[in-house]
Structure 1
Amino acid sequence: MLQLTVDAAGLAQSRFAVSPLHEVAATLLPWGLRPRPGAAPWLARARRTLRHEQLPLLTACALIDRGYVPDFLSPHPAGPAPTIDEELALVRATPADRIVTELRVVRGGRPHIGLDGRGSELPTVLREALDRDGAGIADQAADELRRYWDLTFAAHWPRAKAELDADVDRCADILARRGAAALFSTLHPGMRWRDGTLEVASRFCGSMDVPHVVLVPSLLAQRPTVAVDQLAGPRLPPILNYPVGAGPTTAGDGPLAALLGTTRAGLLTALDHPTTTTSLATANFLSPATVSYHLGVLLRAGLVTRTRKGRSVLYRRTPQGSRLTN
């Protein structure tokens, strides 16, 4: 359990931020082994990009299985909704000594400043970065993040951002109607506010006084995580990433997903009303070709029907498909 103590002034300053690079960094964490409901299509696409494109720095970070990605890849959100270009500019401006310190954290296997340099072996690209004292790594990281973004996220970000903004609006309504203390407990079952302290379920234990908290909603995060910029000291508040709802799809990871696969289960669940392939693709952050393939499988199995209305082709669940989803 992590305990963050926030006084009244800090509570008043706590805010939300929607960050594109925090979503990108989430795909580098070892969550692909068991993705949260709705995240599987995102993670599968991201992993394909890492496998097939020349992104050596990001690929090396994704191969590390300790659940820590260097913080400079997802800088502290300067405002409520930074653009990808603004965040990449911050990455490019990262001092080399900070990069070296964070790579030593990776090598040591735990986020702790002042490691003696001993620990497990780093991937070659990260080891070479340490050997040259971090020179050129900020530019390489920004260039790779830009390519990774363009290939994997750019086309889907408007829809994803709308989902994240909607959750922030939901929280604003709770804040106005029930107050700040009630808000934190509605974000996730692993978070609660008690006696001036924000408690976050975590495999790490500790407590700290913080100036305030920046809350960053995520469609990919499996659980709440707290990131503290130890290099910045008390100047920057911790970032608390928390998972939004059930993610882009609502099929969950139960028996239906086990039977059909997460993507098909999500599409079948979404077909309460006649819907086009394009609408399903947009809502589930998939390509139209991918949605068309899975709908074809569901159609041949008798779980959906297909009808034409003008120039549009509409899909809807059959009674048999509805019995499965229920």
Structure 2
Amino acid sequence: MIRIDLGVRGLGRVRFAASPLDTAKDLLFTLARTPQVLGPRWRDNAVRALEERQLGLLAAVAGGGPLGYAPDFLRPESTGFDMTLTGGLHLVATTPAERVRYELSAALDGHAWDRSPARRPPRLLLAALDRGEEYLAQRIAGEMEQFWHAALAPHWPGIRARLEGEVATRASAIVTRGISDTLDSLAPNLRERDGVLHLTPLVADAHRIDLEADSAVLVPSVFAARAIFCGGEPPGTPARRGPLIVYPAAPTDCLPRTGRDELLGATRVKLLAELSQPHSTGELATRLCLSPATVSYHLQILHRAGLVQRTRRSRTVLYQRLVRTPGAAAVPDREHPST
């Protein structure tokens, strides 16, 4: 059992965050620990990326050991949704050597790989450690970048849109129902009682953790099936990190769907309202206070459904709502269509 005593002040500092590397780490960990919860396309994509790019070191480090511990430096601390892939990879590559040493020591000697002959650390990991912690961190960052582009990059707009929608939904729930009820609804193995978070770990015989903290970070994941605890180390830990909880945000297979149901949602209604006149993705993102990636994802769906049209002006792509009249072809909703 993991017990995180936040108190009233700490509950008020709970925040949500997500990043490209969060998603990559979640996919790798889920593939290693509970692959059955992944859709077949995601399993195939991830396995193919690891095998074709020969990312054996990344697989050994990110997947965790028998008791579920996976080093946390692959998941840099994020303050929101603004951490880019490049920024996150830089943080991984420049992780302090003492932090890498601390985490891998815990994995090798503490609570991941035990010392029995059947569960010795992978030779690839030991060989990388022989070249030093800085080398290992830089190589892991390089392999994470390859994995990201091979397995996740084509689907990131849709994933990010789901994560942003998840956080917006939770924020609304906090306003209407309160933070306690909202935290209780995040995952079946996570509960809040009197300012204390109680999390039942994935591994039944994992050791008990009791800690006090003045804040916590919640990271929605499209791959996790249960809440997972990260960070939250005792005082004196090198580059100490606060508690972070990954929780399931949506169905695990988040590739864009097809069908009429994907057209529902407040975001697309707002986009259609704005598109009585032509706008670029960047303009729409500014007007609706959304990320360009989120706007692009929703525009692609609306375009496939025949509800918006695309036109190119110089280097800019403009979108505009289409109006259909009985017996007539779709026409732009504007007075003077461009030629």
User: TM-score, length-normalised on structure 1?
Assistant: 0.69
Partner SS for 1:247: coil
Give the Å deviation of 1:76.
Answer: 1.7
Contact conserved, 1:20 with 1:84, CA < 8 A, in 2? yes
Contact conserved, 1:30 with 1:62, CA < 8 A, in 2? no
Give 1:46's aligned residue. Answer: 46
Q: Does 1:84 align with 2:89?
A: no
Alpha-carbon displacement from aligned partner over 1:34-81 (angstroms, at most 9, x marks no partner): 546554422321111111213232133356542332211112224443
Give 1:237's aligned residue. Answer: 242
Contact conserved, 2:6 with 2:215, CA < 8 A, in 1? yes
Contact conserved, 2:230 with 2:244, CA < 8 A, in 1? yes
Gaps of 5+ in 2: 264-296, 299-328, 330-339
Give 2:172's aligned residue. Answer: 173
- Looking at structure 2, the residues matched to 128 and 96 of structure 1 have their Cα atoms a distance apart, in angstroms, of 16
- Looking at structure 1, the residues matched to 62 and 7 of structure 2 have their Cα atoms a distance apart, in angstroms, of 37
Superposed, which structure 2 residues align to 1:24-173 within 5 Å? 24-29=24-29, 31=31, 34-35=34-35, 37=37, 39-61=39-61, 65-66=65-66, 67-108=68-109, 110=111, 120-173=119-172
Cα pair distance change 1:156/1:125, threshold 3 Å = same
Cα pair distance change 1:34/1:272, threshold 3 Å = farther
**Which of residues 195, 214, 219 in structure 1 aligns to 2:217?**
214
Alpha-carbon displacement from aligned partner over 1:20-46 (angstroms, at most 9, x marks no partner): 212211222254575465544223211
- Looking at structure 2, the residues matched to 146 and 95 of structure 1 have their Cα atoms a distance apart, in angstroms, of 19
Cα pair distance change 1:236/1:127, threshold 3 Å = closer
Cα pair distance change 1:59/1:38, threshold 3 Å = closer
Superposed, which structure 2 residues align to 1:177-256 within 5 Å? 177-202=176-201, 203=204, 204=206, 205-230=208-233, 232=237, 236-248=241-253
Give the Å deviation of 1:110.
Answer: 0.8
Partner SS for 2:78: coil
Cα pair distance change 1:35/1:135, threshold 3 Å = closer
- Looking at structure 2, the residues matched to 41 and 94 of structure 1 have their Cα atoms a distance apart, in angstroms, of 32
Contact conserved, 1:229 with 1:238, CA < 8 A, in 2? yes
Partner SS for 1:68: coil
Partner SS for 1:188: coil
The structure number with the bigger radius of gyration is 2
What residue identity is the alignment partner of 1:27?
Answer: L
- Looking at structure 1, the residues matched to 262 and 218 of structure 2 have their Cα atoms a distance apart, in angstroms, of 36
- Looking at structure 1, the residues matched to 238 and 96 of structure 2 have their Cα atoms a distance apart, in angstroms, of 16
Alpha-carbon displacement from aligned partner over 1:115-156 (angstroms, at most 9, x marks no partner): 9x9664221221022223324122211111111111111111
Give the Å deviation of 1:182.
Answer: 1.5
Gaps of 5+ in 1: 250-262, 276-281, 284-309, 311-326
Give the Å deviation of 1:162.
Answer: 0.4
- Looking at structure 2, the residues matched to 140 and 188 of structure 1 have their Cα atoms a distance apart, in angstroms, of 34
Cα pair distance change 1:107/1:194, threshold 3 Å = same
Superposed, which structure 2 residues align to 1:298-309 within 5 Å? none
Alpha-carbon displacement from aligned partner over 1:77-115 (angstroms, at most 9, x marks no partner): 24443111111110111122322232222222516xxx9
- Looking at structure 2, the residues matched to 192 and 129 of structure 1 have their Cα atoms a distance apart, in angstroms, of 39
What residue identity is the alignment partner of 2:162?
Answer: E
- CA RMSD in angstroms comes to 3.1
Give 2:14's aligned residue. Answer: 14
- Looking at structure 1, the residues matched to 156 and 81 of structure 2 have their Cα atoms a distance apart, in angstroms, of 16
Give the Å deviation of 1:235.
Answer: 5.5
Contact conserved, 1:36 with 1:222, CA < 8 A, in 2? no
Q: What percent identity do the matched residue pairs reach?
A: 31
Give 1:294's aligned residue. Answer: none
Alpha-carbon displacement from aligned partner over 1:183-242 (angstroms, at most 9, x marks no partner): 101112222211221111223333221111100000011210110153757963211000
Partner SS for 1:136: helix
Contact conserved, 1:229 with 1:236, CA < 8 A, in 2? yes
- Looking at structure 1, the residues matched to 247 and 154 of structure 2 have their Cα atoms a distance apart, in angstroms, of 23
